Every structure is written in C-alpha cells, then in structure tokens.
Structure 1
Amino acid sequence: MSKSSANRRLGPELSLATGIGKNDDVLVIGLTTADETDGDGTPSLVIGEGLFDDAVASAIDASLAAVGAQGSAGELTRLPAPAGLDVASVLAVGLGAPAKLDDAEHIRRQAGVAARSLAGVSTAVTTLSTADLTAAAEGFFLGAYRFDEFRTTPPEKAPLGSVRLLVPAVDRDTKAVLERAEAIARAVSIARDFVNTPPSHLYPDEFAARAKALGSAAGLKVEILDEVALEKGGYGGIIGVGKGSSRPPRLVRLTHSGGRKAKTVALVGKGITFDTGGISIKPAAGMENMTSDMGGAAAVIATTILAAELNVGVTVIATVPMAENMPSSTAQRPGDVLTQYGGKTVEVINTDAEGRLILADAIVRACEDDPDYLIDTATLTGAQMVALGTRTPGVMGTDEFRDRVAAISQAEGESGWPMPFPDELRPDLDSRVADLANVTNHRWGGMLSAGIYLREFVADGVQWAHIDIAGPAFNTGGPWGYTGKGGTGVPVRTIYALLEEIAAEG
C-alpha cells in the first residue's frame, strides 16, 4: 500500500489560545464591510474582546484604511504588524456585510481563503474563531489541505503548519468543540485523499485494503467480499460492471456499533475507481476526471470512520461496492441481462449507467440489516450537473427523509437540494426482456430516473435518501473558499450531521 491518509499529515495542527504568542508568525483577523447605519462609512475589524488593546486595534484599522481595504468577502490584505504585536504581519480577510458573522458557512469559507494564502507560514493565530470556532477550525484545516503524494519535487512553500484559534477561555467546552471540528475536517480530508489518488494506485482491491486499514484503526468491524464471494453470493450488478477489468471488484462492509438500543443507519457509496463507460465508452475529453467516480464511496468510508472516532450514538453500517468499469473482450455488453442481488433482472441498455447497478446490489444487502434509515451517495449522473450545477447535490428519496437530509445539507454548507420522483418517469425503465432497464429511452430527467431505479431496490418501510454528487464531489475549476481543485469530500459533513441528529433523538 502506498502512502495514504493513515500515515500522512492532512492539515495544519489546530490549538486553542487566549492571546497572541511570541511564536506566532501571522495574525489573521476578519474585516466586515462598512455598516451603513454607523455613519462613518469605514469597514470594521472583527476582533475578540480583550484579545489585544485598543491602541493596537486602532493601528491595524488605520493601516487597512490607508491601503483601501473594503472588507468585501474573500478580500485579502496583508500588512506589517504594528508595534505592540508579537507577530510579523497581519492578514485581514474580508467577511462582507456584518450580518454574515452569523453565517457559519460564510466564516468557514473565508477561513479557507485565508488558509490558502498562508503557504510557507509556520504558525498563524486568528480571531475568526471568536465569530464561530467550529467554522474557523474546519475552514483553516480544509483550506490548507494539499495532495502532493505524486510530486517528485516538493512545492516551493510548505503548507501552513499550525493555527492557534483565539477564544475568551480554554475550557472543557471549547476543547470539545475543537476536537469535533478537527475530526470532521480530517474525515473530509480522508475522503479527498481517496478521490485524489489516481486509478493507477487506487483500484478495487487497493481501495478495499485502505478502507480496511483505516477502519480497523478506528475500531470498526470490517468485512471484504472478493470476486469469488461476490459471484457466489449473487451480486450480479457488481460482477457485471467489474468483469471488463483485469482488476476484480470488491464489496466492503464497515460497522460501527452505537449500542444495544441505538438506531441503525445504513450507508451506501458508489465506488467506481475508474469509469471509461465500458462498451458504451465515454468521450476522451475530460475522461481523466473519472478518477473521481468513487467519491460516494470515499465519503461513506470517511464518515463511518468519523462516527467511530467520535463514538456517535447510532449504529452505522456502510456497504461499499467497488469496481472498475472498463471495455474489454470480457466486458458486459449493451443488451445483456444481469441479475441484481436479491433476484431482480436488469437489461443493460447502456454500460455507462453502471453506478446504479453496483448500488442496487449494495442497497439490497444494506436493507437486510433492517436499518431505520438508509443513505446512499454517488457521482451518479451528468444530469445532476445539468439540473443543479457543479456545487449543488440533488437529494431524492422518501419525501420526509429527503427533505430532512436536504435541510441538513444546506445548514452544513454543502447545499443539497430536494428533487422529486415524477410518476411518469417510472414506466420508461420497463424493459422489453427483463424486470427493469438500467436507463430510459430518452434524456429527460436523467438524475431523477436514476434515483427511481434505485428506489426499486429499497425495502419497504426504510426511510431513504439518495444524494447525487456528480459535480459537487470533484472540483475541476479554480479553488474557492476552503475547496481546492480535485476531491471536495462532499457530503461527509451532511451525513455526519444527520447521524448526530438521529443519535440526539435517542
């Protein structure tokens, strides 16, 4: 196994502080735009009360005014530190309107903007934590994330080394908040690492081995089914997709026990380690981004590990199918019929609609555990991006649970949006020769049709949500907020927040 999340530094070291120390290099502060009601038309510093004296604050304020800092969201202004501060420089990050101080995701993003600009800095200290400790901690950690494993020459500047988060007092409560925030950010980074690892180095067997190593270290129960066990067990979807590759498929099961009376949440994530489209091959342009087609599996594995690390009070059972979708003389063909786990037959009209085939097997297996809730997530359809863009997951499923998951996703800053299951789309999945076809005979509502296909495999009475993250799992554009290019770790924070909410219900 090559170097992975288990043995590498994922982000800066985070700690709490009540004041600026002599070893701090940069002070990071927030700057809001001018409040139209205050009459003076000047931006305002966001500084925790009592962290340093009024003279220092006034000096910083005057310097920022002199260089024309406006406090607009994401604006960065770096200044020499005034006399009286034991740091070399001050970095002001714009927060926008004062009302934005109540928006945790906004603080998280601006902390990420600051972190991305601090490469080469050993230790930063920040007042953004006085606005929202969790958001500031997660934003700095994720904004400083890098994936340099395959670079033979290290970047000129080292990643940000450590961040000290200023708070009025360091006590049990603030320590607990920081511990949780850092664990969540680390889990998101683990998911990012999985997605960013190229398919030459992360194929089904290696993916399963890494999941086992991380899961076992976190105290999870781990089970891996190889191609022989999958064939014997009747996992026709996973076998069908994987049989075109020389690297055979796997099914990984990870279990965190929340206690005897705890509710059970089943998690399923699509783990296509590379997707050529199979015989229905994709266009060459952009195909390299299909290294991200296991983003759902990455998120599910990372979230289950996080559940164990923070000992969330629900039982979490992850069922993660892994395969590589390749064209070859042994690959499944358009027109083939396979039998999904559980017995339903499927006519494979398009081999590039492979994710739903492996997910269906996993969903049926997950429902055998009699869960109270089931969440699956996948980079499933290009139609998700057509409908919602590259940053907004589509959330489908049973109505009440779908809306609950979407609301949590929005509260966590991952922006999920509830989507319907129109009745008229279901007949279009009828097959000429089998129980179902894996795609419709038209291009309309493709994201919704894929969700409707998965619904066919969810057991009656299970509250279910499907999160399509085709765009949100992988950033092909420029860095923004705490999100760099490549894997994003969506929807780890959404799923974990849901687990905590379910645990709190008892």
Structure 2
Amino acid sequence: MTTTLPRILLEPGDPAELVVDVLVVALENRADSIEVRAPLLAEAAQRSLREAALAVGHRAKREATARIPAPPGVSATSVLFVGLGDTGGASQGADFRNLLRRAAGSALRSLNAVDSVALAFPVGDAEDAETVATGALLGAYRYTAYQSDASGRTIPATLAISAAEAVRPALERAAVIAAAVAATRDLVNRPPSDLFPESFADAVVSQALVDDLKDRVNVEVIDEAELEERGFGGLLGVGRGSARGPRLVKVSYGPAASAPLLSLVGKGITFDSGGISLKPAARMENMKSDMAGAAAAVQSLFAIARLRLPLRVTAWLALAENMPSGSAVRPADVLRIHGGKTVEVTNTDAEGRLVLADALVAAQEEDPDLLVDIATLTGAQVAALGRRTSGVMGTQSARERVTTAAESAGEPMWAMPIPEEMIGYFDSHTADLKNAGAPAGGMLAAAAFLREFVRDGVEWAHLDIAGPAYNSDSPYGHTVVGGTGVPVRTIVELALSMTR
C-alpha cells in the first residue's frame, strides 16, 4: 500500500470565499499582539479573524494551532489558526521559509477526518508556494497500512493553496517531491516481516513500471548468484546470516548520455539485529529503519525522473538483512569487497559500511560527476549532532554542494571533517582493513573507512542520517512519528543545482 497525499489546488482569489471544511490562517506575533499573515484575505476578513484569534487566546506561538467555527464573512466551515511566531517582519529567506514549511505541516498534522482544506499564508513567490505546499502535504501524511480501523486518521482529499496563478508550476513540483518523501516514509515504516531485500527489490521494480516512470527509468536486480559471480563480498557476508538473501539494485534515469551523472548509493539493511555482535534489546524495533538510505536514494531518483531534470542519475541500493545464525559472518572473518580490497570483520554490527563499500566501488565504474552515499550509519552521529541534523563528510566541494542544497531544502545538515588519524584505527594484521575503528568520533571514523573505497579525484559526499531518518520521539512541524523521508528534498535540490 502506498500513501496517497491530498490533491493540490491553486486558488488565486480571496480565501475567505472558499467553501472548504477548514481554512488554515497563518498568524504572526508582533509586539505582544498578533497579525494575520494572509495577504490575499480581504481586510474585513482579516480583522474578523484577528478578533476571533484574540478571543480564543491564540498568541501566534510557532506551530501552535487552534480551531474554531468560521466567523461571519468566511465561507469555510471552520478556521484553523497556526502560529509563525515573531518573524521580525521577514517575508523572504531560508529561515522564513522554514517557518512557513513547519507551520503548514503542523496545521495539516493536527487535522483528521476532514475532506477539504485551504491555506491562507504569506506566499510571495513560487519558492514560498512550493515551501508551503510541501510542508502541508508532508504534515498530512498518515501511515495506516497495518491498522484495521484508520477511519479517524484520514487525510484531506484536496489541499488548496491561496496564491497567484504564476506559482502553479511550483505547486506541481511540490506535489512530486512530497510524494517521493511519502514513498520513502512508507518503505521505512513497513515492518521487516514484509520488507526484506527481495521484497524491497520487487517494490522498486513495481514502482518503476507505473505510467509516468516506465519509459524513463530502468531497474537491474542483482541476486545472490550474480553477487557471488561478480565478487560483492560485503553484501554476501552481511546477508549470509539471514534466510532472506541480499540484493544489489541499480536504478537508472537519464535523458541524454552527455548529461552530468549523479550517482546515489543507499544503505539498505532491512533489519539490523547487529548479527553475532548482537544489539541491546531496547529500541531494537527501530532498526527496521536501517534501510532509510536506500529508500531515500531510489525515491529521490524517481522524483528527479518525474521532474524530467536534464541529468543522469543512478541509485545503487545495497540491500541485506543482518541477522545472527549458524551461517552468519563471525568476528575475525575476512570479506573481499567488490574491486578486491579485503576487510577483517571485528564487529558484525558495523555492517553498513561493508555493503556501502561494495556499492561505492560499483558506482564509480561509471565515472560519476558526483557520488553521494546515504546511510543510517552510526550511533555516533546522534551523539554528535542529535536526532534532527545529519552529518555530511567527503570532499570539500561535494560537501559544500550538499549542505547548500540542504539549506535551501530546509533539511538540517552539518559539514564534518574526516581527520587523517582516523584511518589508522582500521589497521588489520590479517586483511587490508578491519571494519571497526576509533573508540571515539565514530561518525568520522566510519567516513574514513568509506573513503578507502572512493578513488582519488572523485567528488564524493557521505550523509550519515542515523538520527534524522526516523523519528521515535514526538512529532513536530511537518515531521511525523516514524520514517521522515530525510534527505529526499536535499537530494532533489542537489540535482536541480546540477542543472542550473
């Protein structure tokens, strides 16, 4: 089951005249008072709504909501106020757009079992419109595939954005990007009983066959026999403890052979028990999300294909299930990575870097202009940057391109170094490397390990999304509990930047 988001509509007229179930109105806190930030609303309606908001004690605190019956002069059945906080009078810029995105997401996240919604926000240009629409669509997301009665969690059928006609293409782009984020969330939220390497590969193949993708996207699934034949020792080693074998899936999109090539590599551990180096039981259920990098990589490619961007993109999905069994890889085993390097396994719970190494080497055989790997790789990322900010490592140019795209997309990321001393911790007396390194700075150490499989001169960025990919805390803004869809919006923005 794939989550269906609301259908986006553009309404260039007065929002007060829209006949909808809920009209969402943005409020700003200014000098201990509140102001309606909805320029297309008639002045009389703005005054009426401001008085109604004051009457119910709404102070326009960021993301705070309050729903009331619509006052006279407003055709909607009800009005939902949502706060922007004190913007300092701002009406543009990345920080302001982040406020819009999160406010729109909070508003839609608070609404259940309504059919039609319209947003009256300060939409000044196409970028604002895309921001508001994306936030609202992602806030509307509900994952109900395994609930026997989800009638109380239905999402709106239509979502109208109050804005000028000129922003219509931006709303269409928002719908494509939000659908890709939602599809990523769906994959991350699926239980590992249903999502394993083979079924993940099947889902990708099925999605690539839909009408708007089938003539633009190609999928190649490499099964265990071919992995063995072609020497993908990392995937085979990690996957051999499971009764459900590994897969390497290559997805390709490209309108012209001469276009720049963006290669994405995604870690796809469909469940990570830690293998023989077993994880603690507490919160192990969240390890169904250890395939979020692969999900984000492929859904980013599908979004890029739907947007018909003039560049080539490949997504390499390294899929395996890391389980303990009599056939599982053992500490002290040696694996031969695709391309020939050998790795001594000293910790079977440091498995993601092994499957990524295989896929990174394979991706470079096509000489990409930019190589980006995406992985829920280390608990050290959470320790260093928390649960909302991804770490970005790699070559300086690639790192800067990713962080610039992330700022524009509104996904928090922070550039981190790869200290030269880190690689020394991976010295092995038996193989070329061992897979577990420094006792401190684990996020940086993992990047140092991966760099050993990236050729000199290749523009490469490594995204550690261990915390941001899955929200096991309270929802906020447009971010729901469960899979978040990070970093799809950043990858699409990165691809857009390569075409400008």
Instruction: Work out whether the TM-score is over 0.5.
Output: yes
State the secondary structure of the residue aligned to 2:67: strand
Deviation (angstroms), 1:101: 4.2
Do structure 1's residue 350 and structure 2's residue 350 form an aligned pair?
no
1:493 to 489, 492, 499: 489
What is the rounded CA distance, in whole Å, between the counterparts of 1:82 and 1:151 in structure 2?
36
Q: Secondary structure at the match of 1:482?
A: coil
Relative distance call for 1:389 and 1:231 in structure 2 (3 A) is same
Aligned to 1:33: 29
1:211-245 C-alpha deviation (Å, 9 max, x unpaired): 11112331311100000000111000000000000
Structure 2 residue 38 is the aligned partner of structure 1 residue 44: no
Residue 205 of structure 1 corresponds to which residue in structure 2? 198
Q: Deviations over 1:459-504 (max 9, x none)?
A: 2221000000000000000110001100000000111101110111
Kept in 2, the 8 Å contact 1:265–1:316? The answer is yes
| Deviation at residue 16 of structure 1 after TM alignment | 0.3
SS in 2 for 1:224: strand
Relative to 1, partners in 2 of residues 1:84 and 1:304: Cα closer, same or farther, differing over 3 Å? same
Alignment of 1:164-175 (within 5 A): 164-168=160-164, 170=165, 173-175=166-168
Q: Aligned to 1:198, what secondary structure does the other structure show?
A: coil
CA distance in 2, matches of 1:72, 1:125: 21
Contact 1:129 1:137 in 2 (8 A): no
Structure 1, unaligned runs of 5 or more: none
2:84 to 84, 95, 105: 95
CA RMSD of aligned residues (A): 1.3
Hey, what does 1:63 align to over in structure 2? 52
Residue of 249, 260, 270 corresponding to 2:267: 270
User: How many residue pairs get matched?
Assistant: 487
Which residue of structure 2 lines up, in the alignment, with residue 238 of structure 1?
A: 235
Displacement of 1:23? 3.3
Is the 1:407–1:416 contact (alpha carbons within 8 Å) kept by the matching residues of 2? no
State whether structure 2 residue 169 is matched by structure 1 residue 176: yes
Residue number among 455, 464, 467 corresponding to 1:468 in the alignment = 464
Q: Supply the AA of the counterpart residue of 2:287.
A: M
Q: Does structure 1 retain, via aligned residues, the 8 Å contact 2:333–2:344?
A: yes
Partner of 2:335: 338
Q: Deviations over 1:357-381 (max 9, x none)?
A: 0000000000001111100000000
Tell me the distance in 2 between the aligned counterparts of 1:407 and 1:497. Answer: 9
Q: Is the 8 A contact 1:277 1:351 kept in 2?
A: yes
Structure 2: state its 5+ residue gaps.
Answer: none
The partner residue of 1:161 within 157, 161, 178 is 157
Q: What is the Cα deviation at residue 400 of structure 1? A: 1.9
Structure 1 contact 95–101 (Cα < 8 Å) conserved = no
Aligned equivalents of 1:140, 1:107: Cα separation in 2: 9
Q: CA offset at residue 129 of structure 1?
A: 5.8
Match of 1:196 among 180, 189, 201: 189
Distance 2:148 2:47 in 1: 46
Specify the alignment match of 1:316 in structure 2: 313
- Name the TM-score, length of structure 1 as normaliser: 0.94
Task: Report the AA paired with residue 300 of structure 1.
Answer: A
Give the 5 Å matches for 1:282-431: 282-431=279-428
| Distance apart, 1:67 and its partner CA | 2.2
Q: Secondary structure at the match of 1:33?
A: strand
In the TM superposition, residue 436 of structure 1 has moved relative to its aligned partner by 0.4
Runs of 4+ in 1 over 6 A off after TM superposition: none
Query: How far apart are 1:424 and its partner, in Å?
Result: 1.1
Amino acid at match of 2:476: W
Following superposition, the deviation at residue 81 of structure 1 comes to 1.5
* Paired AA for residue 104 in structure 1: R
Q: Normalising by the residue count of structure 2, what TM-score does the alignment of the two structures yield? A: 0.95
